Amino acid sequence: MSDRFDWEHADEIDERRLAVEAPSAPGKKRWRMFVALLLVAVVALVAGYVVVVRQATIEATATIRLALDVARDACRAGDEELFFSLQTGDRAWRASLLQPEFYEPICAGQSIVDLQPVDTGYVATLTGDDDIRRLSYFQLTNAGTRRTTPPIGYWGKRYVLPLSGGNELIFRKIDEPFTPRIVAFVDEKVQALCADGGCRDGAQPFTLEIHQNFRRTIAPNKLYVPSPRLLGLDANSNPTPAFWEAISTELAAHLRPGVIRFAVPPLPYQAILYDDAAAEFMRQNPDIVVQIETLDLLPEETNESLLAYDGAAYPPSAAMIAAGSVLDLTDYAVGDPNFQSADFYKPLLAGAQWRNHLWFVPHAGQMRFLYYDRNAYQLAGLPEPSPDRQWSDLESDIEALHGMTTATFDGWNGEWAFLDATRDILFAHAYANADCAMRPVPCALTGQEVGDALDWYRTILDEGIAPDLAASPPADRLRLMANEQGVPRRAAVWVDDAVNYEHYLQMWPVGVSPFPAGSTPLWVHGSFINRRSERPHDVWRWLVFLSHQPLNGPLRYVPARQSIARQTRYWQSLPQPLQAAALQAFRTAQPVWPGGHGTFLRGQLDEALRGNSPANPASTVRWFGH
């Protein structure tokens, strides 16, 4: 052991230590330099990333502003093709844009308040003249800019919050700031609605979900209300009255017994059938009252007067759908196991759809047929129509019959070869010349096909083959047919409903056949829900119930459901040869879609007969109030 203390030879120790450590000094410097360079690189990368993101956001802002401007102009022009080409295919989003409260801000013009990159697009906070801020999501792809609701990941974690009475509130993280007010509002409303035992049995507990899109649900005791960020926030970032009204409406419709006002057409025996159905429905659902009101409005005369009711047994017009007056039933149909879509005949269910949305619940399909005087065919030496007859065969027949101007037998006076007081022959001509097998069902006709049918109609009028009675007012048809096809018949071939088969058969020998070449028009009858109805769930339950009832009576319409056709032995009940004609026609019948109902109306025919080009019926529909 050394005789000196450490402090006495500390300098020697330090000198030795320095001597040993000195060689490592250059390595330490290099390490420090590396760290410094790394930090500089990271800062540069971050700065570069920020610049890139900022530049991308600037470019996205310009792109989205352009899309907003194009949507504004399309909305103002009523150009629905262009307008919807700027949206995604989400059904609920597209249906919401038919409602004035959503398309009017777009028509007025919207500006971007905030833009955040999310996934492959941008969440935009938009505002307009009303100073209400609404969220939208813009997908920027090579195919263009498409608008929809923000993706589910944007909304954050899902939470469940208990309410009074065992009820629940479901919301996402982003809507958490609103939950205290929502909880208080819901509890207060439930207490008021259920005071004095006024709520339905089994209506509680329920779950109210603040949803991230505009979808609807028919699930028991499940309520959806769109997020206030979709319905709109005010300048202080508080939910607007529209959000609280939506909650109030959902709660009242779910909790309180209600009354449905339902309109039906004045068809034979229909009022009795609907009254009986309503009585049975109310027996099974004592918390719902159905009031049946028979109108003086035929199914082909559907108009906005039906919007005074919660629903109506009429197929809605394209104008009513475009005006946002008809509730989109797609989500209900998908979510309700009682709807049983597979039970419907496919063409009848297809005829209730437009643009991949279900707009009404089909009840029945109406097919008309070609009747012909068998004696006239025999006198002309013509073979009676065969199952594989083509359109050219029909044209040859009526031209040959037209040449028989001296017919003198009792059944037919030889005045006309052909007669149709409906629009069916025009649709049949267009369908026969369209390649419907290669198109989605329902088969949408082109302007050329419509024009060709109108030209053909003008030709048979000019040649005196037929009188100009097509597209006659529905209320006048019975009188017209009684006058034209009474005793004797004035036309050798004519169009009419299956229900009149025995009537014609009792007078003189008559044959019946479908329209040639698989061109029989199929008119789909059913019921819709008024979008303004405060009880859409109850009306839906009523419509589904109706679809399971045999409502046709003596009209001989095809039941929409296969189960009802079996139950009533519909096909077996038709007399031969009407049964064979009906089966053949139905196999290839073309449902007339809601967007096609405005085709071949009287105004179009009058324009065509004057030698003018009639307006495309699609162009006459008012979209977005324009």
More confident residue, 258 or 50: 258
Question: 328 with 391, same domain?
Answer: no
> Is 70 exceeded by the pLDDT of residue 17?
no
Tokens of 586: 């139905």
> Is 80 exceeded by the pLDDT of residue 281?
yes
**CA dist., res. 416 & res. 468, Å (int):** 11
Residue 440 confidence (pLDDT): 83
Average pLDDT score over residue span 402-409: 70
Question: 346 with 377, same domain?
Answer: no
Rounded (5°) CA angle 288-306-319: 130
Residue 260 confidence (pLDDT): 97
Query: DSSP 3-state assignment of 242?
Result: helix
pLDDT band at 488 (very low <50, low <70, confident <90, very high): confident
> Is 90 exceeded by the pLDDT of residue 625?
no
Question: 199 with 112, same domain?
Answer: no
> Is 90 exceeded by the pLDDT of residue 571?
yes
Residue 618 confidence (pLDDT): 54
Question: 410 with 387, same domain?
Answer: yes
pLDDT band at 12 (very low <50, low <70, confident <90, very high): very low
- Give domain status of residue 265, yes or no: yes
Question: 348 with 429, same domain?
Answer: no
- Look at residues 199, 229, 255 and tell me which one is the last residue of a structural domain: 255
Question: 322 with 199, same domain?
Answer: no
Is 247 in contact with 190 (CB distance < 8 Å)? no
Question: 100 with 121, same domain?
Answer: yes
- Give domain status of residue 20, yes or no: no
- At 50-86, the pLDDT tens digits run 455 577 789 999 999 999 999 999 999 999 999 999 9
Q: Which residue's entry shows tokens 């093709």?
A: 81
- At 142-160, the pLDDT tens digits run 889 999 999 999 999 999 9
> Is 80 exceeded by the pLDDT of residue 35?
no
Q: Residue 172 forms beta bridges with which residues?
A: 158
- At 494-505, the pLDDT tens digits run 999 999 999 999
Of 344, 338, 343, 335, give the one whose Cα is nearest residue 362: 344
- The 8-class DSSP code of residue 133 comes to B
Question: 203 with 265, same domain?
Answer: no
Tally the domains of the chain.
4
Report the CATH number that the domain containing residue 214 is assigned in CATH: 3.30.2010
> Is 80 exceeded by the pLDDT of residue 615?
no
- Give domain status of residue 104, yes or no: yes
Residue 310 confidence (pLDDT): 98
> Is 50 exceeded by the pLDDT of residue 2?
no
Is 236 in contact with 275 (CB distance < 8 Å)? no
Residue 405 confidence (pLDDT): 60
Question: 122 with 104, same domain?
Answer: yes
Average pLDDT score over residue span 267-287: 92
> Is 50 exceeded by the pLDDT of residue 350?
yes
- At 432-473, the pLDDT tens digits run 999 887 888 888 898 899 999 999 999 999 999 999 999 998
Average pLDDT score over residue span 417-435: 94
Question: 344 with 383, same domain?
Answer: no
- Give domain status of residue 355, yes or no: yes
Report the CATH number that the domain containing residue 295 is assigned in CATH: 3.40.190.10
Residue 213 confidence (pLDDT): 96
Average pLDDT score over residue span 24-32: 61
pLDDT band at 353 (very low <50, low <70, confident <90, very high): very high
Question: 237 with 281, same domain?
Answer: no
* C-alpha 434, offset from chain centre: 24
Average pLDDT score over residue span 515-540: 96
More confident residue, 268 or 589: 589
**CA dist., res. 561 & res. 550, Å (int):** 9
Q: Going by C-beta distance under 8 Å and a sequence separation of 6 or more, which residues neighbour residue 392?
A: none
Residue 29 confidence (pLDDT): 63
Average pLDDT score over residue span 1-25: 43
Radius of gyration of the chain, Cα coordinates, nearest whole angstrom: 35
- Look at residues 255, 278, 297 and tell me which one is the last residue of a structural domain: 255
- At 221-239, the pLDDT tens digits run 999 999 999 999 999 999 9
Q: Going by C-beta distance under 8 Å and a sequence separation of 6 or more, which residues neighbour residue 542?
A: 260, 262, 281, 288, 290, 311
- Give domain status of residue 6, yes or no: no
Of 127, 102, 122, 123, give the one whose Cα is nearest residue 112: 127
pLDDT band at 616 (very low <50, low <70, confident <90, very high): low
- Give domain status of residue 516, yes or no: yes
**CA dist., res. 616 & res. 562, Å (int):** 36
CB atoms within 10 A of CB 272: 11
Residue 55 carries which side chain, given as an amino acid letter?
A: Q
Residue 53 confidence (pLDDT): 55
Q: Which residue's entry shows tokens 């028979």?
A: 294
Q: Residue 523 forms beta bridges with which residues?
A: 366
Domain interval for residue 296: 259-362+536-575
> Is 60 exceeded by the pLDDT of residue 122?
yes
Average pLDDT score over residue span 584-613: 88
- Look at residues 227, 255, 283 and tell me which one is the last residue of a structural domain: 255
- Give domain status of residue 18, yes or no: no
Length of the chain: 626
Percent of the chain scoring above 90 in pLDDT: 72
- At 287-301, the pLDDT tens digits run 999 999 999 998 888
- Give domain status of residue 232, yes or no: yes
> Is 90 exceeded by the pLDDT of residue 346?
yes
Question: 334 with 386, same domain?
Answer: no
> Is 70 exceeded by the pLDDT of residue 49?
no
Average pLDDT score over residue span 118-139: 95
Q: Which residue's entry shows tokens 């297809």?
A: 350
